[in-house]
Amino acid sequence: MQDDLFGDPPPPPAPPAPSPAPAARKSLARVNPAPPDPVLQALAAALPARVRLGSSSWTYPGWAGLVWDTEYPDALLSKEGLRAYGQHPLMRSVSVDRSFYRPLTQDQYARYAAQVPDDFRFVVKAPSHVTDALVRGEDGRGVQPNPAFLDPALATQDFVAPALAGLGHKVGALVFQLSPLPRHLLHNLPLVLQRLRKLLLAQPPLAPTAPDGVLAVEVRDPQWLDEPFVHELAAVLREAGATWCLCLHAKMPRLRDQLPLLRALWPGPMVCRWNLNPLHGAYGYEDAQREYSPYDRIHDVDQDTRELLVRTMAGIAGAGQNVFVTISNKAEGCAPLSVRALAEGLAGGPHPK
């Protein structure tokens, strides 16, 4: 038979796909935790009660099977993932980083607090409009001096007061992370330190609302740890009842070189944010993100940091002080697995499966 010169007639259009059933729509609006793991539960029970480990944020689809029961969109995890995250046996803290980019309200903090267990503690970053000496453009470059830099009243209004009111006793550490300083301020650190002192001393006491709460200072310029200035820094932190946030980032000295400042503040809590593997260098966030995504496994073990963190945490918690350690996926490739490695170290080694 000769083919039709004009071809076969086009097939009828496919009928529209049926709308999902209400039950299916409902299932997509929530995030379920990974199934209970008796090994993780036993490991959590072996940890010192004052040690709280966690990650930086909780919005990673690649944690399916580790924190979530399946893969969820990051937008859904951002809104609904914290409740499931808080059910992980080892995740008893989290670093809230979004507050660095825009202040959160009391109600937003309260919604976070309502999603986690009673013994969960938050590590929260202060807004950058208080902690950055420069106003920055969309490309991250400083465009002009920031007149609100280290403003005490603004720090209270936009950070400490709403965090305390919203999180209540679940406040762990309120972190003033000072962005890299412009050159003229790096050459005048005593002036910056006095402004920081006024800010810290002006904040309301945390203890009446959050007995475990502490103000902490984190920096990204190693000059803060230079002799003899580091002793002036320690004196200001002691006067204000604040502590040093150990910043494990390639821009800063390694952990062992920051511990002397923590010893100078003893007795007191430990706050640590393990941010970036030094393999990637001081400006390696994008490289780490590209190499480690989707953050579902360990890529680069930092064994020296693990071992020293474990020894430090054990000593501080053993002396009755609180420990808050939050870990970025950029530290080793997968924050939940880094948390597990630290927990195993604290509990005396890996638990058999």
Residues 6+ away with beta carbon under 8 Å from 37? 89
Say how many C-beta atoms besides its own lie within 10 A of residue 39's C-beta. Answer: 13
Task: Determine whether 26 is exposed, middle or buried from the number of CB atoms within 10 Å of its CB (0-12, 13-18, 19+).
Answer: exposed
Number of neighbours of residue 68 by Cβ within 10 angstroms: 23
Q: For residue range 296-331, what is the model confidence (pLDDT) as tens digits?
A: 999 999 999 999 999 999 999 999 999 999 999 999
Predicted confidence at residue 12, as pLDDT, reads 52
Residue range 269-283: mean pLDDT, rounded: 93
pLDDT in tens, 203-235: 999 999 999 999 999 999 999 999 999 999 999
Q: What is the mean pLDDT of the chain?
A: 91
> What is the band of 352 on the pLDDT scale with cuts at 50, 70, 90?
very low
pTM of the model: 0.90
- Would you state the structure tokens that stand for residue 282, as one six-digit string? 């001081």
d(CA 272, CA 259): 11
d(C-alpha 232, C-alpha 224), whole Å: 10
Place domain 48-347 in its CATH homologous superfamily. Answer: Protein of unknown function UPF0759 (3.20.20.410)
Confidence of residue 288 (pLDDT cuts 50, 70, 90): very high
- List, in order, residues 6 or more apart from 41 with CB less than 8 Å away: 89
> In the prediction, which pLDDT does 101 show?
87
Q: Domain limits of the chain? A: 48-347
CB within 8 A of 245, min separation 6: which ones?
173, 175, 177, 216, 217, 218, 271, 272, 273
What percentage of the chain exceeds 90 in pLDDT?
84
Structure confidence at residue 28 (pLDDT): 57
Give 155-208 pLDDT, tens digit per residue.
Answer: 999 999 999 999 999 999 999 999 999 999 999 999 999 999 999 999 999 999
For 54-63, what is the mean pLDDT? 96
**Sequence-distant (≥ 6) Cβ neighbours of residue 327 within 8 angstroms:** 53, 54, 55, 56, 273, 274, 335, 338, 339, 342
- What band does 353 get if pLDDT is binned at 50, 70 and 90? very low
Greater pLDDT, 350 or 238: 238
- pLDDT, residue 139, reads 72
pLDDT at 24: 37
Mean pLDDT value of segment 68-93: 97
The pLDDT-based confidence of 283 (bands split at 50, 70, 90) is: confident
Residue 15 pLDDT level (bands cut at 50, 70, 90): low
pLDDT of 90 above 90:
yes
Closest CA relative to residue 269, chosen from 174, 192, 167, 131: 174
pLDDT score recorded for residue 5: 33
pLDDT at 100: 85
pLDDT at residue 26 is higher than 80: no
Task: Give the mean model confidence (pLDDT) for residues 259-275.
Answer: 97
Give, in order, the Cα–Cα distances in Å from 186 to each of 21, 119, 180, 251: 60, 39, 9, 15
